Amino acid sequence: MNERTKNFLRERFKEYYLEYPIQLPPGFESREWGFVMFDALPKIVMYRHKSFHSRPETLEYLRSMAPAHAFSSVAYYEHPGAGTMADKHWTGADLIFDLDADHLPDAPESYSAMLANVKDETLKLLGFLTDDFGFSEDLIDIVFSGGRGYHIHVRDQRVRALGSAERREIVDYVSGAGLSLKQIPSEESGGWGAKTNRWIVKYLQGLRDRDDALKILQKFDGIGKARAKALINAGNDANIKLIRNGDTGFLKDVPESFWNELRLQAVQEIGASVDEPVTGDIKRLIRLPTSLHGGSSMRVVPLTLQTIEMFDPLNDAVVFSDKEISVAAESPASCDLRGNHFEIEEGVSTVPEYAGIHLMCRGAVEYAGRV
């Protein structure tokens, strides 16, 4: 990224911070702040141990410095601006979850498909937090990261004092680590038990609708034709009623290896794939909601349980104008934003500002002037 591009991006980011409403996290005066400036890019240099005492002071810093990336700590401190972690005096931390498309198993190649997948994981996690843990929707902040995923902030006072080990146990729970299907729980058992029961019922009922069910089941170790027929028969109404009550005695001859395989499938479909190190880090810096992501130019968008379903990051998180600018590329580049596909060839091209800034932030093109 050359200096001309950095200066252009810095100016456009500054205009964003002047024009758009900025949301500060609760208790922002007790949080450590960190920033990455455009000057050193593409090298990431974090300026941290910063603190603010008022909203005007915070906004003035963002507007005057126009950082490429802005972060605040998940932790609360007595002295957040102290130069060492020991001198800050930790007093608690929000419970944070990071869901990143890059960390999902079998992640698709296209950006839009990855974003769709990670939204599904986020919705699963939200279900655990509200249904299983009973956190109030009012105390859960959902944020599109501006990049490849979502951040969940649980701001319930009851979680503030939790240590890293307890937070990792929560990750184990929502991801289904250690789930056992040796004995299928009843639908009334709640939590993972109820989720697992419903998943098994759906699986067995689905077998009855497949012409190739016998063939599929006999691929499992220890499942011959007779056991396969028994499993298919388990999907009838009478047996499903038994299974919903946790009664699977009529399937006692089905080998444990079959249930282990189903366990793996159930965990993948029911569990939420979250980044454990982020949740376990009680002093982590996390991206500021309503700031701009310097690696994509997209807005870090606050959402709710009601708005996340319809949220389209490739449209709703794009903030810059459609005025045309010129960009220069040393090699071909492409992007999809606001329903448009852009193919950039080597040399100078004209594109809408929102696409050009996005590609500049990705390091794919340089700024070449206004049209």
Instruction: Name the β-bridge partners of 349.
Output: 327
209 is catalytic: no
* Sole residue written with tokens 């100016």: 11
Residue ranges in 128-224 assigned as alpha helix (H): 164-175, 191-208, 213-217
Active-site residue identified among 94, 98, 141, 281: 98
**Pairing verdict, β 333-337 and 285-287:** unpaired
Choice among 94, 141, 275, 281 that is catalytic:
275
β-strand partners of 35: 47, 70
**Is residue 172 annotated as a catalytic residue, yes or no?**
no
Q: Is 336 in the active site?
A: no
Quick one: 331 exposed, middle or buried, by C-beta within 10 A (0-12, 13-18, 19+)? exposed
Interatomic CA distance for residues 313 and 357, integer angstroms: 16
- Classify strands 366-370 and 324-329 as parallel, antiparallel or unpaired: antiparallel
Between CA 28 and CA 26 the distance in angstroms is 5
Q: Check if the beta carbon of residue 72 is closer than 8 Å to that of residue 58.
A: no
Helices 191-208 + 225-233 axis angle, to 10:
110
Q: Which of 100, 156, 247, 336 is catalytic?
A: 100
Instruction: Give the phi and the psi of residue 310 in degrees, each rounded to 5.
Output: -95, 0
Q: Per residue in 37-76, is it b (16+ CB within 10 Å) or e — as a string? A: bbeebeeeeeeebbbbeeeeebbebbbebbbbbbbbbbbb
3-state helix, strand, coil in the chain (%, to 5): 40, 20, 40
Question: Residue 170, exposed/middle/buried by CB under 10 A (0-12, 13-18, 19+)?
Answer: buried
SS3 144: strand
Which residues are known catalytic residues? 98, 100, 275
